Structure formats: C-alpha cells, structure tokens
Chains A and B, each alone.
Chain A
Amino acid sequence: ETGVTQSPTHLIKTRGQQVTLRCSSQSGHNTVSWYQQALGQGPQFIFQYYREEENGRGNFPPRFSGLQFPNYSSELNVNALELDDSALYLCASSSQLAPQETQYFGPGTRLLVL
C-alpha cells in the first residue's frame, strides 16, 4: 500500500510568483486535506476536498486554491506569493468523510519565499 506522497519536497520562489504543490493520496482514499505549518507552529487547515469538490475551508485568502482530480490526487495553488507563505505544506488523505477517520499525512513540501 502506497502512502501519501507530495511533490516537490522543497521549493524556492520570490514574492509575487505563483506555485503549485501536488499530492497523491493513499490508495483507496477519496478525501484530501491541506495544511500549512509555519516554523515553530502546529499545522493550520487550509481546505479539504472530497470527491473533487471543496468541502470546507480554513481562514486563508482566495489566492490559496485547490483542485482534486478523478484519481483523488490534489493540487494546492498559491498566487501572488508573500514572504509569510514560507512554510511546510502538508497534505493528508483519509478513506471517508467521517470525523473519527484518521488522516494520513505526507512528508510535506517546504516552500521558501524570498
């Protein structure tokens, strides 16, 4: 069974640029959530996708957007990058939309905005 994978592992961008991060969910999982983890902080929920539809969003501006594909993989897009967007971006997948369901995390993509 393949776990959650993310690409790229590291990325350096400059202010104002756009970035796309990718996530492949664990086999059999139809739900993907994205989190931002700033240095020294706990992860913060960005949004969740369930069967290709956005199913909840945290307190992030619209320049953070996402997609989920028919194979349940997902992308996180960030436009007009700001210095404060520098963080570890984590993707998590789960097998169903239930509150007790475990979310399985990928290794993350570390984004540095200069």
Chain B
Amino acid sequence: AQSVTQLGSHVSVSEGALVLLRCNYSSSVPPYLFWYVQYPNQGLQLLLKYTSAATLVKGINGFEAEFKKSETSFHLTKPSAHMSDAAEFFCAVRGNYGGSQGNLIFGKGTKLSVKP
C-alpha cells in the first residue's frame, strides 16, 4: 500500500532563506508523486509532479523537487523564500493504480511561515 510522510507540521523561514519541505513515500509500485499548495480558504493547486521522467522536477513559483529512489524521498525546495510563499504544502502519492487509478494519498501537510 502507498503512503506519504511529511516531516515537520510547521516550518518557519526568513524571507530570502532556503525553503526545504520533506516528504518520504512508501509504494509497492513505481510511484507517481505530487506536491500541492493550499492557500488559506482555498483548494489545492499543483506545484509539480514526478512521473518517472527526470528525477529533478521543476514546478511553478520557483519550487522544485528531487526524486530519490534510494531514500524514498521527494523533498520540495525553493532557493529563496518570498512572503507570498506562506501556505500549507501537501505531498501526495498516487494510490494503487492497479485498481482505482484516481486516488491521491496525501501527507498531513506542512505549514510554511515566512518571516520578514
């Protein structure tokens, strides 16, 4: 069965500092992995996804993530945080696509705060 663990429910960085949000996955099949962002009182917006092409995936708003099979990780980074990056971030793995190919399995989320 697939699962996702996000380390750190809350991360705080200063404006201009590196953002690192951690995600580890468990999957019995080659994983499809996603990072979504949720701003207050809004739905989820896709930042980026890994679909077995390049291991370094670039997304929107300067975010990127690297798939590391040996570490079962898919950490999200951004070199320089902006105040507008403050939001909650969710890592997700596609469910057992032998059956339902639709479901995403989400981590509990990491809330990012950016200090001026």
What's the Cα separation between A74 and B67 when bound, in Å? 34
- Count chain B CB atoms within 10 A of each CB in A42, A48, A55 and give the residue with the most: A42
In chain A, positions 85-100 with a C-beta closer than 8 Å to chain B are: 90, 92, 94, 97-100
The total number of A-B Cβ pairs within 8 Å is: 74
From residue 39 to 57 of chain B, which have CB atoms closer than 8 A to chain A? 42-46, 49, 51-52
Interface size class of B (residues with CB under 8 A): 20 to 34
A41 close to chain B: CB less than 8 A = yes
Expressed in whole angstroms, the minimum distance between the Cβ of B13 and any Cβ of chain A is 21
Q: B52: nearest residue on chain A (CB-CB)?
A: A100
Q: Which of A12-20, A65-73, A76-84, A104-112 contacts B (4 or more CB under 8 A)?
A: A104-112
B32 adjacent to A100 (CB under 8 Å): yes
Q: Which of B46, B102, B104 contacts A43 (CB 8 A)?
A: B104
Q: Which of B46, B106, B107 contacts A102 (CB 8 A)?
A: B46
Whether A103 is near chain B, meaning CB under 8 Å from some CB there, is yes
Which B residues touch A55, using CB under 8 A? 100-102
Are A42 and B108 interface neighbours, CB within 8 A? yes
Question: In the complex, how many residues of chain A place their beta carbon closer than 8 angstroms to a beta carbon of chain B?
Answer: 30
- Closest-by-CB residue of A relative to B95 is A45
Indicate if the CB atoms of B100 and A56 lie closer than 8 Å. yes
CA distance A31 to B105 in the complex (A): 17
Do residues A50 and B43 form an inter-chain contact, with CB atoms below 8 A?
Answer: no
- Closest residue on chain B to residue A4 by CB atoms: B43
Given contacts A42-B109, A45-B95, A107-B42, is CB(A97)–CB(B51) below 8 Å?
no
For A32, the closest partner residue in chain B by CB is B102
Q: Which chain A positions have C-beta within 8 A of B34?
A: 102
Which of B43, B49, B103 is in CB contact (< 8 Å) with A45? Answer: B103
Q: Confirm or deny: B90 has a beta carbon within 8 angstroms of a beta carbon on chain A.
A: yes
Residues of A within 8 A of B (CB): 4, 31, 33, 35, 40-45, 48, 50, 55-58, 90, 92, 94, 97-100, 102-108
Q: Which 3 A-B pairs have the closest CB atoms?
A: A56-B100, A42-B106, A48-B102
Query: What are 8 A-B contacts defined by CB distance under 8 Å?
Result: A41-B108, A48-B103, A56-B101, A99-B32, A100-B32, A103-B102, A107-B43, A108-B42
